[in-house]
Amino acid sequence: MGASVLPAAGGEGGPLIYWSVAVVTALLFLACLLAHEIAHLLVAQRTGVGAISLTLWLMGGVTELKGEPRTPRAELAIAVAGPLASIAVSAVGFLLAAPLQGVPVVRVAMIWLAFMNLVLGVFNLLPGAPLDGGRVLHALIWRRTGDRAQADQRAAGAGKILGGLLVALGVAQLLLWPAMGGLWTIIIGMFLVTAAHTQLLQQQLRAGLAGMRVRDVMTTDPVAAPAWFDIDRFVSGVASQTHQTAFPVVDTSGAPTGYVLLQTFQGVPPGRRGTTRVDSLARPLPPDRILSPAQEASVLLDLPLTGDQLAVVVEDGRIVGTVTGADLVRTIQLARLRPPSVPGPPTAPG
């Protein structure tokens, strides 16, 4: 804006004015993005879903809900709240720009801000996951069919198609109209394809874990690593007796203080393994990775259990299990192999 958009507006000014107005406009646009996400958050709270976090990042904003909406009506209300907020901000921006004829730089900045909010609102209503329009489509399909899984599939499929079309449009822009910003269109399209696939996978995982508890997923009675053992003593007396590669580290009371990986010990010179304590190499164990066996298994989807990361399951102050990404994948695979239950009479969602 400071280098091209505002200078083209004409009127008196120089680089200092252009860049000052550009910085203020950019901050206002971030505030508009925030308003978009806050609209989602407020409606989510009103419908009883609630929200965990609100994040602004390179591709826009994300409001993480505490759970899934219970009815198509609630999902529809949450989904349209953000785009409607952006369109409302756009209308206000165009109205405020009208009396600014005598201040061309500020007027152009206001029109740009209003136009970008309009684009933000309309683009997010396109019917494909993970856009808000994808959630609108999901809610409508869910209400029509009563089948949430079918709605998941169709909304994700629409998101992939939409992303593919944007990639194709970006390629055409690069070939035919290089100044149109085709690379950014390609990036957005690829993001939509990837995000739609990831969202569908998350929904399938959550459905696979429905009705399960952490105890149904965990590896029971894992071998723990005493914090005060040195590496040689632990490897020869404990680790060599099991096939585990990741171990919760416990203090003298048996409470978990972290976890350690076998591969970590390889970085310690042999001459120092007899004097290096296990807990000096332990990774921290955040509170959200200490679980109860009675918790719903879906809580595991909120933890990045990738690689050798694990969660520890504690009951009555004693470690009764651990959960790794491999445990989660195995549980989902078994859930998909179970014979389907006999369906009852169909019910219409609210």
Q: Give the number of other CB atoms < 10 A from CB of residue 219.
A: 15
Given the residues 37, 64, 68, 315, select the one marked as catalytic: 37
**C-beta separation of 97 from 113 below 8 A:** no
Q: Quote the strand ranges of the chain, DSSP E.
A: 51-57, 60-65, 219-220, 225-226, 246-250, 256-261, 290-291, 310-315, 318-324
Q: Which residues pair with 250 in a beta bridge?
A: 226, 256
SS3 category, 234: helix
Determine phi and psi for 52, rounding to 5 degrees: -95, -45
Residue for token pair 């959200």: 288
- Concatenated DSSP letters for 74-120? HHHHHHHHHHHHHHHHHHHHHHHHTT-TT-HHHHHHHHHHHHHHHHH
Q: Indicate the DSSP class of residue 233.
A: H
Q: Which residues pair with 156 in a beta bridge?
A: none
Residue 39 has, within 13 A of its CA and on its CB side, a CA count of 22
Quick check: is 296 catalytic?
Answer: no
Angle between helix axes 72-97 and 132-145 (nearest 10 degrees) is 150
| Interatomic CA distance for residues 88 and 36, integer angstroms | 10
Question: Residue 107 to residues 51, 89, 191, 236, 270: CA-CA distances in angstroms?
Answer: 36, 16, 33, 75, 71
- Concatenated DSSP letters for 31-47? HHHHHHHHHHHHHHHHT
Q: Which residues pair with 226 in a beta bridge?
A: 250
| Interatomic CA distance for residues 168 and 145, integer angstroms | 32
Catalytic machinery residues: 37
